[in-house]
Amino acid sequence: MTEDGRLLNIREAAEALGEPMHTLRHWESKFSELRPLRQDGGRRLYRSSDMEVLRRIQALVRRDGLTSAGVRRILGGDEGDWAGERLGVVARELREMAGDIERVLGRRV
């Protein structure tokens, strides 16, 4: 739903987020907090509350690098584990960067 109260179909919601439609369908299957309305025939209609949940999921996945399990914990109210989840992602990224640097320099850093 937009600010003017209009419901968004899946294409409009996906375009608003800059995500493919299949990503929204995937997130819906993974996160029970995301439940758009359904028309006859199963067409999804996204309210403003659905768009808020989608934006939160998108930020946690794309910006913060969380896994589906990490996002589920946060959406479920267990934000205490977010730091541990995020540290794991950062540590993995740092190890990858160190490996790239070692390959370029030809020696261990």
Helix, strand, or coil (residue 76): coil
Q: What is the pLDDT of residue 84?
A: 66
Confirm if 34 and 28 have CB atoms less than 8 A apart: yes
Distance, in Å, from the CA atom of 3 to the CA atom of 16, rounded to the nearest integer, reads 13
Digitized pLDDT (tens) for each residue of the chain, 109 residues in all? 555 678 999 999 999 999 999 999 999 999 988 999 998 888 999 999 999 999 999 999 998 888 888 888 888 876 555 566 667 777 778 888 888 888 888 877 6
Q: What global pTM score does this model have? A: 0.69
Distance, in Å, from the CA atom of 67 to the CA atom of 86, rounded to the nearest integer, reads 9
Q: Rounded to whole angstroms, what are the CA distances from 47 to 20, 23, 54, 61?
A: 18, 17, 11, 21
Instruction: Domain 8-79: give its CATH code.
Output: 1.10.1660.10
Q: What is the pLDDT of residue 23?
A: 96
